[in-house]
Chain A
């Protein structure tokens, strides 16, 4: 149980285009979704926190207009990288907290974005 399905796993896009990444909680309701970015051989950097039905909370230094987050339902959160540039190339991972009584966090399998 507690699966977060993340798609696509890999995407290559041209500079200037937009890319949408989806994270779905398959067997539980994810009222919150954390979005992370990971550069090669580095740790995970929290970009933003999305909450179902409300605006996302972005971490300092993350451009809200570039990384659009939507959490329209209890099972789906999306991250759209708008007007992508090569420097946006990275590994993006979503994570949903489980809450009581199990606690813990379930991670998606990640999306490798390459902007050419």
Chain B
């Protein structure tokens, strides 16, 4: 079955610290992988996506993610977190033909000054 797992429900970091949000997927074919961010009461904003090619993907707001096929992972990273990064982060996987996305349960990021 296709699924996305985000093991960390809630993460708290200090401003300026590094960040890694974990994402593991189970998918029968070559996946398209996405990371979205959602601020309270808002829609979803795409941070980055992976379709093919270089397994290290750069996104907006200083985020990057690395696709590791052997580990079925697509972890999101940021070297130095800003207070404005506090939000909910969702990992998602989809097929190549833009069928429905499968979302992880989300990770809530809290940033302390």
A-to-B contact residues, CB < 8 Å:
6, 32, 34, 41-44, 46, 49, 91, 93, 95, 97-99, 103-105, 107-110, 112
| Chain A residues closer than 8 Å to B43, beta-carbon distance | 6, 93, 107-110
Instruction: Report the Cα distance A55→B94, complex, angstroms.
Output: 22
**Do the beta carbons of A105 and B98 come within 8 Å of each other?**
yes
**Do the beta carbons of A42 and B98 come within 8 Å of each other?**
no
Other than the given A43-B90, A107-B43, 10 more pairs (CB < 8 A) read: A34-B100, A34-B101, A41-B108, A43-B105, A44-B44, A46-B101, A95-B101, A103-B32, A103-B98, A108-B43
**Do the beta carbons of A103 and B108 come within 8 Å of each other?**
no
Instruction: Report the Cα distance A69→B94, complex, angstroms.
Output: 23
Cross-chain contact of B34 among A32, A41, A105, A110 (Cβ < 8 A)? A105
**Do the beta carbons of A43 and B104 come within 8 Å of each other?**
yes
B-to-A contact residues, CB < 8 Å:
32, 34, 36, 41-46, 49, 51, 90, 94, 96, 98-101, 103-106, 108
| Chain A residues closer than 8 Å to B104, beta-carbon distance | 43
Number of A-B residue pairs having CB atoms within 8 Å of each other in the complex? 51
**Do the beta carbons of A104 and B105 come within 8 Å of each other?**
no
Cross-chain contact of B98 among A46, A97, A108, A112 (Cβ < 8 A)? A97
| Chain B residues closer than 8 Å to A104, beta-carbon distance | 34, 46, 49
Instruction: Report the Cα distance A103→B96, complex, angstroms.
Output: 8
CB distance from B23 to the nearest CB of A (A): 12
| Chain B residues closer than 8 Å to A109, beta-carbon distance | 42-43
- Give B49's nearest chain A residue, CB to CB: A104
Instruction: Report the Cα distance A41→B108, complex, angstroms.
Output: 8
CB distance from A38 to the nearest CB of B (A): 9
Instruction: Report the Cα distance A103→B32, complex, angstroms.
Output: 9
Instruction: Report the Cα distance A103→B90, complex, angstroms.
Output: 18
Instruction: Report the Cα distance A18→B103, complex, angstroms.
Output: 28
- Give A32's nearest chain B residue, CB to CB: B98
Instruction: Report the Cα distance A105→B90, complex, angstroms.
Output: 13
CB distance from A32 to the nearest CB of B (A): 8
| Chain B residues closer than 8 Å to A98, beta-carbon distance | 98
